[in-house]
Amino acid sequence: MANSASGIAVSDECKLKFMELKAKRNHRYIVFKIDGQQVVVEKVGGQAETHDDFANSLPPNECRYAVFDYDFTTNENVQKSKIFFVAWSPETARVRSKMLYASSKDRFRREFDGVQVELQATDPSEMSLDTFICRAL
């Protein structure tokens, strides 16, 4: 386990699941939460799940980290994929929680070599499919 600047450890399962998403492409997304003194996997979305399933998996009043494997077609009609790192920090979350997630984010994010786009979202509109499309192209 690795420690972040805030003293929060990253469980080995987090890194293992990310490697499965990146290399084997057998997950569409992974949602992580801080549980006590470490970041753990909260939910893993299967390959058949959609952006809507991903957006609905994030709690409306609690912070989370997530990675999302986004498949898309370019304007030149080429199939591509990008891995997004999402820092979900809704305005309705407790201040202490937002501070903890914010202070741990950079260290946690560095555990995931291969993330191509980073997204900070405070409400569902900032995580719309259009946002993912714009950031991917």
Residue 6 has a pLDDT of 57
Residue 100 to residues 8, 25, 61, Cα–Cα distance (Å): 9, 30, 15
Tell me the whole-structure pTM to 2 decimals.
0.92
Classify residue 46 by burial, with Cβ atoms within 10 Å: 0-12, 13-18, 19+: exposed
> Which positions ≥6 away from 120 have C-beta within 8 Å?
86, 87, 89, 126
Residue position matching structure tokens 């202070």: 103
Residue 1 has a pLDDT of 45
The one-digit pLDDT tens for each residue of the chain (137 residues) are: 444 445 788 999 999 999 999 999 999 999 999 999 999 999 999 999 999 999 999 999 999 999 999 999 888 999 999 999 999 999 999 999 999 999 999 989 999 999 999 999 999 999 999 999 899 88
Q: CA 71, 114, 74 angle in degrees (round to 5)?
A: 30
